[in-house]
Amino acid sequence: MDPLYKRDSAIDVNGHIVNGQTVDIAITPQGSDLYFGICGVMAVVGLGVCGAAMLKPRTDRVFFYITAAINITAAIAYFSMGSDLGWTPIDVEFVREGNGVGGTNREIFYVRYIDWFITTPLLLMDLLLTSGLPWPTILWTVFLDEVMIVTGLVGALVSTRYKWGFYVFGCAAMFGVFWNLAFEGRKRANLLGRDIGRTYLLCGVWTLFIWLLYPIAWGISEGGNVIPPDSEAVFYGILDLCAKPFFSIMLIVGHWNIDPARMGLRLRDYDQEPNFAHSVAHEKNVGATGVHNDVGPNVHSNANTGGVAHNATEPVSEATAGTSAV
């Protein structure tokens, strides 16, 4: 064997054959190079976020770890696509003549959808935790996101016109996600402070704009077979770079001086004693803003006691009771 390998031999090694079937419309070495390059960017950003997390207390790293996981997962997916792995040949609905799109079947990277199935909920968690939305709303938004990704994958694997039915389902789910981000999340984030609202607005608007372009990319690549796989790699690659590394940098910079406890994310390390006083004070402060009025199962702020907090299991003292009569 020649000790000097080609600079990019992934396609030669792995080939355009899966289960004995050869694909007609597939990436070239140029597309493979692009995927490997994006893999490198994702890996660098992911490791960089991990390094930045070391500058924060362990209890303040939740956004760092979520964001690092997004980029590391995407790096693995792009390594797979650059290696010409993680795909299956699917017959195209529209048989076209032309350079790069001529043929009866097309290379569909299912590994791309595995990436999205993992990373898009994490992206939403970054945003929705920033806004301080309640968990039922967060879980519902994540569900809609998973519907969007799964229907996109199923549609890409369907060779008839019925793929567009799944496309419509996916777009409907996407706009459900957009509603919660643009209205529910934005209103909640603004109540938590100007800096939190600004970070959410910047990252949220960026995400909405980038995500709105994904259905277009799907429609002219896996859906309509309009552009060749190399152009598909460029389109999706640019979108993923904007949606993950660039988003990650904006989010981490925005969160750098924000205490996660302000968003209800106060975590206790294993060697720390519970700080009930901080929790009660935080809840009372949030309640004053109108965001959340419940200050805990055992503590109440009663209008009849003049707003004095007391333990529900203990009787109200005479002095406290007297304040309500003043």
User: Which pLDDT score, from 0 to 100, does residue 76 have?
Assistant: 98
Going by pLDDT thresholds of 50, 70 and 90, the confidence category of residue 272 is low
DSSP per-residue codes, 293-315? ----SSEEE-GGGTT-EEETTSP
Span 168-187, pLDDT tens digits? 999 999 999 999 999 988 88
Inform me whether the pLDDT recorded for 314 exceeds 90.
Answer: no
Geometric angle at alpha carbon 185, from 183 and 188, rounded to 5°: 105
Least confident of 2-16, 74-88, 127-141, 213-227: 2-16
Whether residue 86 contacts residue 111, with contact meaning beta carbons closer than 8 Å, is answered with yes
CATH superfamily of 15-263: Rhodopsin 7-helix transmembrane proteins (1.20.1070.10)
Residue among 254, 314, 309, 252 nearest 279 (CA): 309
Inform me whether the pLDDT recorded for 279 exceeds 60.
Answer: no
Sequence spans of domains, the chain? 15-263, 276-325
Alpha-carbon gap, residue 300 to 245, rounded angstroms: 44
Whether residue 161 contacts residue 93, with contact meaning beta carbons closer than 8 Å, is answered with yes
Going by pLDDT thresholds of 50, 70 and 90, the confidence category of residue 127 is very high
Tokens of 158: 């369907």
Inform me whether the pLDDT recorded for 264 exceeds 80.
Answer: no
SS3 264: coil
Going by pLDDT thresholds of 50, 70 and 90, the confidence category of residue 297 is very low
Q: Residue 257 class from Cβ within 10 Å (0-12 exposed, 13-18 middle, 19+ buried)?
A: exposed
User: Which pLDDT score, from 0 to 100, does residue 288 have?
Assistant: 47
User: Which pLDDT score, from 0 to 100, does residue 294 have?
Assistant: 42
Going by pLDDT thresholds of 50, 70 and 90, the confidence category of residue 275 is low
> What average pLDDT does range 290-300 have in this prediction?
43
Interacting residues of 312 by C-beta distance below 8 A, sequence separation 6+? 297, 298, 299, 300
> What average pLDDT does range 33-48 have in this prediction?
97
Least confident of 98-112, 278-292, 298-312: 298-312
CA atoms within 13 A on the CB side of 208: 18
Inform me whether the pLDDT recorded for 125 exceeds 70.
Answer: yes
User: Which pLDDT score, from 0 to 100, does residue 268 have?
Assistant: 64
Inform me whether the pLDDT recorded for 273 exceeds 80.
Answer: no
CA atoms within 13 A on the CB side of 89: 16
Residues facing residue 17 across a β-bridge = 22
SS3 89: strand
> What average pLDDT does range 56-67 have in this prediction?
90
Alpha-carbon gap, residue 201 to 183, rounded angstroms: 11
